[in-house]
Amino acid sequence: MEASDLGLVLVPLLAVAAPLLARGVRPVVRVPIVVFELVLGILIGPAVLGWVETGPLLEKLSDFGLALLFFVAGTEIDFTKVAGKPLARASLGWLLSVLLGIGLGFFFAPGEGMVVIGIALSSTALGTLMPILRDARELDSPFGRAISAIGAVGEFLPLIAISIFLSTRTTPIATAVLLTFVVLAGLAVLLATRVSHGRLHRIVRATLHTSDQFGVRFVILLIAALVGLSVMLDLDMLLGAFVAGAIWRIIMARAPKKDAEEVESKIEAIAFGFLVPIFFLCTGVTFDLQALLTSPSALALVPIFLIALLVIRGSAAQLSAPHGASARDRAALGLLAATGLPIIVAVTAIGVDQDMIDTGTAAALVGAGMLSVLLYPLIGMTLRGDRAEVVGPERAAESTQGEL
């Protein structure tokens, strides 16, 4: 059996093993499941055992998983709660981050490469953080809303920057194309806001437990349409996926809560039960470990980029800290804001393809992103403390009942 064919068996096997490993170590230390997926991917990939190589099918499924990760991130953001000052402060923080990142990148990849490094170091992995915040019952807390604003900006604005500065088009044309997409997406959002969705909601409810599954099919169509539009305009597909998530949240905002939660549960099942694990496992499989191990300079960049993520994103995140936040909460906010991976993977792939950065620098950035996912949420949520201790046992119990 070829390595690409063996992957069709081993990847689902490891997708099942990852949550078991995460639950197994949970009594001792809370490690995000994505860490196990990445490590297991590296283990079976060419870098270690060489059992699996990503063929065309796994690559496509991985792309779908990345798109769904950004779609879910778009659905998680309640713009009514983060709009205004939270979003403005987070945007100012991102601008500060990207400028600092480009300044640092000048020392390692002068020219266009420093833009790649700047964008990578200005990102926040909202899609990775949302499940952690949800499990900790933090989504509706001031702390959770601050992270949501930081993460929304830390995923959306880097995609805008990629589309403008790393496009194969000249910058003025790329900007015009991006504005065309923004206008079309804005019209879609306006339509979703103004049009009555009563009939749509009724069809979704009527097919929730039938083979029709209209709600799920509509979501897939929405993602395909926005991602397709992004690709057609030569923009990053993740931009379309993120906007699709935001539009779907608007569409379902006035739906009966139970119906909206059931559809959300089905989408999450497809995303986190099927496609997203494939993305993270394949990221591990394709990780160029050899480029790190054979290059002392590239290996030395990993801790530099890891610390840079914390300093750059962590300091910028302080602009978004909730009023009256303690020193521990501010530290936790900075650590979670410094968690980055999906954007780093995307932007470094573009940088290598266009000869803006070498494979060693790309591997160092991705390696730092992997370590940030492993370390920063773990330390940050430990500093933050248990949700029941933060909001009190009664409110935590109410939050849990609301989720059920």
What are the structure tokens assigned to 47, written together? 């870098």
Could you give the CA distance from residue 129 to residue 147 in angstroms, rounded to a whole number?
Answer: 9
Task: Kindly state the tokens that stand for 40.
Answer: 């297991």
Q: What's the gap between Cα 85 and its chain centre?
A: 23
Residue 113 pLDDT:
86
Nearest to 151 by CA among 326, 383, 349, 341: 341
Cβ atoms of residues 101 and 161 within 8 Å: no
Q: How many residues does the chain have?
A: 404
State which amino acid sits at residue 148: S
Q: Which residues contact 255 (CB under 8 A, 6 or more apart)?
A: 197, 201, 204
| CA 179 vs CA 173, 192, 377, 385: distances in Å | 10, 19, 35, 43
Low-confidence ranges of the chain (pLDDT < 70): 1-5, 78-83, 167-171, 192-197, 386-404
At CB < 8 A and 24+ separation, what contacts does 220-224 make? 222/247, 222/248, 223/67, 223/68, 223/71
Two structure tokens written together for 137? 């019952």
Round to whole Å and give the CA distance between 324 and 116: 36
Q: Is 28 exposed, middle or buried (0-12, 13-18, 19+ CB in 10 A)?
A: exposed
Q: What is the pLDDT of residue 16?
A: 92
Give domain limits for the chain.
Answer: 3-403
Q: Quick one: what percent of the chain has pLDDT higher than 90?
A: 19
d(CA 65, CA 277): 7
The Cα 50–Cα 179 span in angstroms is 44
CA distance 235 to 14: 32
pLDDT at 233: 81
CATH of segment(s) 3-403: 1.20.1530.20
Give the model's pLDDT for residue 81: 66
Q: Among 272, 76, 218, 253, which residue's Cα sits nearest to residue 156? A: 76
pLDDT digits over 148-194, tens only? 889 888 888 888 888 777 766 666 777 787 778 778 777 777 776 66
The pair of structure tokens assigned to 145 is 């809303």
Residue in the block written with tokens 């978004």: 320
d(CA 125, CA 129): 6
Sign of the Cα pseudo-torsion (67, 61, 42, 54, in order): negative
Q: How many whole angstroms separate alpha carbon 393 and alpha carbon 387?
A: 8
Q: Which residues contact 68 (CB under 8 A, 6 or more apart)?
A: 223, 241, 267, 270, 271, 275, 276
CB-based contact 343:163 (threshold 8 Å): no
